[in-house]
Amino acid sequence: MQALIYSMLAGSSTALGAILLMFTGTPGKRTMAGLLGFAGGIMLVISILELMPEALELGTIPVFFSGFFLGCGIMYLLDRFIPHAHLSDSENLAVENPERLKINSSVLRTGYLIFIGISMHNIPEGLAIGAGLESSPELGLIIAVAIGLHNIPEGLAVAGPLKAGGLSNLKVLLFTLVAGLMTPVGTALGLLVFGISEVLIAGSLAFAAGAMIYIVSDELIPQSSSMHGHAANAGMTSGLLIGFLLLV
């Protein structure tokens, strides 16, 4: 139950991104860069100092490497084959591989595709929260906070084209909330296998580390640096330090 609560809170932060867009507009480059960098710093320190050592302690090296590369591989396949988007700066939305669903020029169609892509990306993130809680409640909470921060810009990415396409504020909010709530779906799937054996727990911890490191290297660092390099570095440094202090 605790895992599902944490993942629901983390997932619902996509709706916070939509609310920010509705009432204040898209945050500035510096704010977005710092937020993404901070989330990336926390994810990195959690993966390297907690998830990976715990996975090695509970399992063997082959299990560790299998889980880690599976986590990276799943995120790569989602990036490769599922249409999705990211904020390349505070004004523009970069849509990746939209041809996978034969996208047309409709702004609303773009919004629906982004919704599908982000929903799919949130499932492995939910698994990461569940894996962290298997290690300790504190680690699970820290992972949930980091993913929640990461989900705010994703909410902006979903809400922007849906709002521009003419949907009401209520419908935009519901779409972003549904996309975020795929996070507890991933957590629930993880909980089904965590209790089977210690080997699966070890593999799941390594999977979570691989998925989060992929997210940081493929999305958070490039996006934040393209918005504002100094703010991104300050955010990541702060995230690393705070994450380290929370874990020691």
pLDDT at 12: 87
Q: Once rounded to an integer, what is the mean pLDDT over residues 150-179?
A: 78
Q: Once rounded to an integer, what is the mean pLDDT over residues 89-94?
A: 48
Q: Once rounded to an integer, what is the mean pLDDT over residues 151-173?
A: 76
pLDDT at 89: 47
Taking a C-beta distance cutoff of 8 angstroms, is the pair 133, 4 a contact?
Answer: no
Helix (H) or strand (E) holding 75: helix 61-81
Q: What is the pLDDT of residues 67-89, one digit of tens each?
A: 999 989 988 887 777 655 555 54
Q: What confidence category does residue 90 fall into, taking pLDDT thresholds of 50, 70 and 90? A: very low
**60: its two tokens:** 């063997």
Q: What distance in Å separates the CA atoms of residue 78 and residue 210, rounded to the nearest whole number?
A: 14
Indicate whether 48 pLDDT > 80: yes
Of the ranges 23-37, 62-76, 93-107, 164-178, which one carries the lowest mean pLDDT score? 93-107
- Which comes out higher in pLDDT, residue 234 or 244? 234
Q: What confidence category does residue 105 fall into, taking pLDDT thresholds of 50, 70 and 90? A: very low
Indicate whether 147 pLDDT > 80: yes
**Residue 1 buriedness (CB in 10 A; 0-12 / 13-18 / 19+):** exposed
Q: What are phi and psi of 93, to 5 degrees?
A: -115, 120
Indicate whether 167 pLDDT > 90: no
Q: Where are the domains of the chain?
A: 2-241
Indicate whether 196 pLDDT > 70: no
Indicate whether 184 pLDDT > 70: yes
pLDDT at 165: 67
Q: What is the pLDDT of residues 19-36, one digit of tens each?
A: 887 887 766 778 878 877
* 107-135 and 2-24 helices, crossing angle to 10°: 150
Average pLDDT over the chain, rounded to whole? 79
Indicate whether 4 pLDDT > 80: yes
Taking a C-beta distance cutoff of 8 angstroms, is the pair 149, 14 a contact?
Answer: no
Indicate whether 168 pLDDT > 60: yes
